[in-house]
Amino acid sequence: MEKYLEDLKNNSLTELDLSEKKIKNIDKLGDYLKFNYSLTELNLYSNQIENIDKLGKSLKFNKSLTKLNLCCNKIENIDKLAESLKYNSSLTYLNLWGNFIENIDKLAESLKYNSSLTELDLSKNKIENIDKLGESLMFNSSLNKLNISINKYENEDILVWSLNYNSSLINLDFDFKNIDNYENIKKYLNRNNKLKIKN
């Protein structure tokens, strides 16, 4: 990975695909990304990454990255990444599918302020509570696609209620735990007739 890091330092890369490289540590990558202004797409799909703190912190300062794929790793904690999204104005696509994430409260809080992210995939994790995410959707006006299917949450009432106020979502993929909410959601679709629900 050293060659790629040097290219990042020299701002000579626009896309970097490091998928399926058995990478465990991306601290140096985070350090270089912090001051990089050329990279727009970073693919870290299917590695063995557990800690993304430095990468997450770098997004507070990075202004070029638009797509970040962290799918199929061993990530549990996304708090630093989440905090940075409150200030980041370039990232439009974030894929966290297939990790071990349980808590997304800080991510939800940042979504109230973030105005660039349009696509977020949190499916196939271990998320237990989506109440804060539901609250954030009442304020967020940029997110178009959201996938939170195949998780462990039991109550989606607040998220369903938020759809009455959100007008930006076009695609929502999640698991209905309460069949009554499926009926409620039909009413909210009258307000946002572009929204498509996948269950």
Write the pLDDT tens digit of every residue in 182-199: 666 666 665 666 788 776
- Position 131 pLDDT exceeds 90: yes
pLDDT digits (tens, 9 = 90+) for 25-70: 999 999 999 999 999 999 999 999 999 999 999 999 999 999 999 9
CA gap 21, 19 in Å, rounded: 6
Residue 75's φ and ψ, nearest 5 degrees, are: -75, 130
Integer Cα distance of 184 and 156 in angstroms? 12
Q: Where are the alpha helices (DSSP H) in 59-190?
A: 79-85, 105-111, 131-137, 157-162, 179-188
For residue 187, the model assigns a pLDDT of 66
As a residue count, the chain comes to 199
Sequence-distant (6+) residues with CB within 8 A of 96 are: 70, 71, 75, 78, 120, 121, 122, 125
How sure is the predictor about 157, in pLDDT bands with cuts at 50, 70 and 90?
confident
Residues 49, 74: Cα–Cα separation, whole Å? 6
Bridge partners of 93, per DSSP, are 67, 119
What is the average pLDDT across 109-119?
97
- CA 166/CA 193 separation, integer angstroms: 11
Residues 6+ apart with CB under 8 A from 14: 38, 39, 40, 41
Q: Read off the tokens for 115.
A: 């105005």
- Which residue would you say has higher pLDDT here, 81 or 6? 81
> Residue 147's domain spans which residues?
2-198
pLDDT value, residue 111: 98
The CATH number assigned to the domain holding 185 equals 3.80.10.10
**Residue whose token pair is 């409150």:** 86
Between 15 and 184, residue with greater pLDDT:
15
Domains contained in the chain, number: 1
H or E, element range at 5 = helix 2-9
Query: For residue 169, what pLDDT band results from cuts at 50, 70 and 90?
Result: very high
- pLDDT (mean) for 2-18: 91
More confident residue, 197 or 21: 21
Q: What is the mean pLDDT of the chain?
A: 92
pLDDT the model gives residue 70: 98
